[in-house]
Chain A
Amino acid sequence: MTVESTAARKPRRSSKRTSAAKTPQSSEPQLVQLLTPEGERVEHPDFEIDLSPDELRGLYRDMVLTRRFDAEATALQRQGELGLWASLLGQEAAQIGSGRALRDDDYVFPTYREHGVAWCRGVDPTNLLGMFRGVNHGGWDPSTNNFHLYTIVIGSQTLHATGYAMGVAKDGADSAVVAYFGDGASSQGDVAEAFTFSAVYNAPVVFFCQNNQWAISEPTEKQMRVPLYQRAQGFGFPGVRVDGNDVLACLAVTRSALERARRGEGPTLVEAFTYRMGAHTTSDDPTKYRADEERAAWEAKDPILRLRTYLEKQDLADAAFFAALEEESETLGKRVREAVRAMPDPDRLAIFDHAYADGNPLVDEERAQFAAYQASFAEEGN
């Protein structure tokens, strides 16, 4: 049994898959790809997709707006409006493709970079900025959009996703859960434990790893000796590597993994092979550790560009569509900019809010002391 064959929804044999299976330890395994970097549609024996022109334009729109939002947030950080920003530049296809595979009742556990997935879940992008501006640690209600809070400690959320998925199975629901994480997080013990628990309990969870090649300055060679997706096999569930810059392939592969989870067949590891075109965060300086040529090579695989090429070649979108989208992007950027600047600092006493659900006399005491201390300045001022 090969990894590819276990990942397949339809147990069909093909020469392509057989050839890939001959070299399971290859460091350059074949990616699942449905749209080439040149914008050509190709077929894959195990994963197929049939989207309407509207759906294709929708994916394009999602990616463009997500990139615009990301660029705006980066600019806002440079202008001092945000303390930090973790850009997703280059990872739009992985996030939109996987995000658009989800049903409303599915539940998402993101890292701190899943702005595109949040977009797909209907989370207002301005909600994502509170933590980066420093007014809260997240703040949104995860149950509104079934999109959990950003988790900064890498890999922790893969266990939360697994536990949540165990609960879904206990409830007898056919929802699925997606845990996002990166190549760096794959080195964490929690990720291995999540794989173990999800396999043992057959939890309906999809582990969606965006392998963007760099964990801050650490390349994947410092994280692993075997291609990441192959790790799943050792835990007893399928792993598949998908072209993370191909939105169609990401959608098809995630959809397949989610359906597998819904059928009660347990977890899948999806490794979206992609590239972080920007810095890890705005505090990072990638020029210190990676070559310009590398980025240039990946720019040629740009996820947005390749879908645009396809849409244009197939006459699926006209100039008016692109112009309208450009305008929509600018409107989004403006809205985000204004929302961030209008975001007030929290009330000082918010320090003490929500430390405990059932209250705590120590917190009450310290809050009262702090309030009295603050009030003493007002008295001095009078």
Chain B
Amino acid sequence: MAAQKLSIAKALNESLRKALETDPKVLIMGEDVGKLGGVFRITDGLQKDFGEDRVIDTPLAESGIVGTAIGLALRGYRPIVEIQFDGFVFPAYDQIVTQLAKMHARALGKIKMPVVIRIPYGGGIGAVEHHSESPEALFAHVAGLKVVSPSNASDAYWMMQQAVQSDDPIIFFEPKRRYWDKGDLDTESIPLPLHKAVVAREGSDLTLAAYGPMVKVCLEAAAAAQEEGKSLEVLDLRSMSPIDFDAVQTSVEKTGRLVVVHEAPVFYGSGAEIAARITERCFYHLEAPVLRVGGYHAPYPPARLEDEYLPGLDRVLDAVDRSLAY
């Protein structure tokens, strides 16, 4: 397998397959990950090929899934855990925050926690309550965790490989509404480091910073703005903890303007963190305040209203206009 075109879902599947092949200590655990291949089929066929000992169907108990993964990691395994949907991670939140994140520090570095927690996240698929949330800020706020989200097939493949190899616990947010988007994957290329941001589109008038599902929206916004003679740079952050502030700074020093876009509520979100840091770092380069576009401080709405809640092309372009008007 070298260069090919495939969906994010398939890229993740290939990546997990490679992880299982490469290291016998890698395990996959979660609800329905075995015969069914996961509700999104990300683990499709893996149990068939690697057996029930490596691809483990678990009881329906999220705290148990993460808690036992911690124990397996202590025994020398590298578990990849699937949480079925974003809103279902909270029964496991205690294990993730009070145990997984802190184990390395508590042991003064003498033990490592190479656990990956995969969470299909975000809206846009018309799902019922608790199936469309973006809780990344809650995890990014916790020292000891690292939080990433790919936006395309190549990153999905490579970032998963890197997450599995990491000795730190990684919360791996998969943009579920992009699962079926196809992109190029070269499995022999040399990937970017896991926590580096990448310029997804060059521009000179304003920087749009996004990650996961919103990268596509920002690229569409940049294409639309171009027709109006505006040159927007799109930064794919890829990692929400740590954040590659150097890359954001470089872009903002070039463009002088920054709009951060994410699905999660704006209030206390990753956009707030980026706005604050960039204001500190680039105050004299900024031509306008850093603006944020995201979800509202309201429960994720029923599916018929999610298009209103989620940032779309118009809301991104509206923020671009407001920034350029300064």
Contacts and interface: CB of A to CB of B under 8 A. Distances in A.
B72 to A, nearest CB: 4
Interface string B210-243: 0000000000000000000000000000000111
Contact of B168 (A109, A193, A358): A358
B108 A193 contact: no
A356 B104 contact: yes
Interface stretch (B93-101, B262-270, B282-290): B93-101
B106 A138 contact: yes
Nearest to B73: A163
Interface in B34-50: none
18 contacts: A109-B71, A137-B102, A137-B105, A141-B110, A142-B107, A143-B110, A159-B66, A160-B70, A162-B64, A171-B75, A189-B91, A190-B67, A194-B68, A353-B105, A354-B105, A354-B107, A356-B146, A357-B168
Contact of A167 (B66, B76, B91, B109): B76
Interface range for A: 35 or more
Interface of A: 109, 136-143, 148-149, 151, 153, 156, 158-168, 170-171, 189-190, 193-194, 196-197, 200, 353-358, 360-363
Interface of B: 53, 58-59, 61, 63-64, 66-77, 91, 94-95, 98-99, 102-113, 143-144, 146, 166-168, 195, 241-243
A193 B75 contact: no
Contact of A168 (B75, B95, B166, B195): B75
Given A149-B107, A167-B72, 5 more contacts: A138-B108, A149-B106, A159-B70, A166-B68, A190-B67
Given A137-B102, A354-B108, A196 B75 contact: no
Contacts of A193: 59, 61, 63-64, 67
Given A149-B106, A194-B67, A156 B98 contact: yes
A156 B70 CA distance: 10
A33 B39 CA distance: 51
A156 B72 contact: no
DSSP class of A's interface residues: helix, strand, loop or mixed? helix
B168 A167 contact: no
A7 B42 CA distance: 42
A159 B67 contact: yes
